[in-house]
Amino acid sequence: MEALGLQFSSINGLSVAQRLRGGNYLSGSALMPIATAPSFFTLKFHNNCRSGIRMQVVEEEYEVKQMKDMAAARKRWEALVRDGKVKVLTPREAGYAIQLSNKTLLDVRPSSERQKAWVKGSTWVPIFDVDDRLDPGTISRKVTDFMMGGWWSGVPTLSYDKRFLSKVEEKFPKDTDLIVACQKGLRSLAACELLYNAGYENLFWIQGGLEAAEEEDLERDGPQPFKLAGIGGLSEFLGWTDQQRAAAAKEGWGYRLVFSARMVGLFLAADALFLGAQEVGRYLQDLRSH
């Protein structure tokens, strides 16, 4: 660092005349061309570039690893279904199985989805749940998730429950017929894999999750339809999700007018904030001028 500082000082020590003449050498007895004497800022810039590139490479490698892990997991899950180790049910078939054979439905969704709609009589043991911790790492993840689309989709930051298996084992013996369900069918497949490896062999998976269920398929409790339990954020507020558009096609203009009114209200609120900010700016400018 000291050497870099000396080089930086020597370069800045060039006389104005030398700079105007475009002199290529340091003043005094120095014989090294200026072009070969990197400044502190130049080296710092290159170091920052290298650090940025290194971080980008690490992030890309992490994303590639995640994609490979997910692809491998999908293959394992497909093998479970293909080999008959996990039986496939449609939502309607699951409803019949619950009513006629008293099979147990295991709901593995996070609390953010469960509290909106759930199957009557089901048992809730989330495999992933909303992460409420406030440590720096979790807060950083929450901020990142929010900035990367959480504000629009409303999907919260989730964390794997390490006690998932033990909680299930506390409630059900290994020979229980379990119908495993989540919102879209992916997390429930992951749960089926864990349960099968733990010794549960009578497993049933609802294909497409509860979002694929019609209201008559399963007996529901909760304030919202199954199809709307997995949405949130600004997209839900404005009615811009696929699920809400499908509902609007069935419900008609009355349903659409609600969300149209919300959109108009949002634009009016944004305009009011903009005008208010302008007025505050003018007021502050007047205070400075006086």
- Residues labelled as active-site residues: 182
C-alpha span between 93 and 208 (Å, rounded): 13
Residues 234, 269, 287, CA angle at the centre, nearest 5°? 130
Q: Which contacts (CB < 8 Å, 24+ apart) does range 142-146 have?
A: none
Comparing CA positions, the residue from 182, 192, 178 lying closest to residue 158 is 182
CA distances (Å), origin 63, targets 56, 59, 71, 139: 11, 6, 12, 21
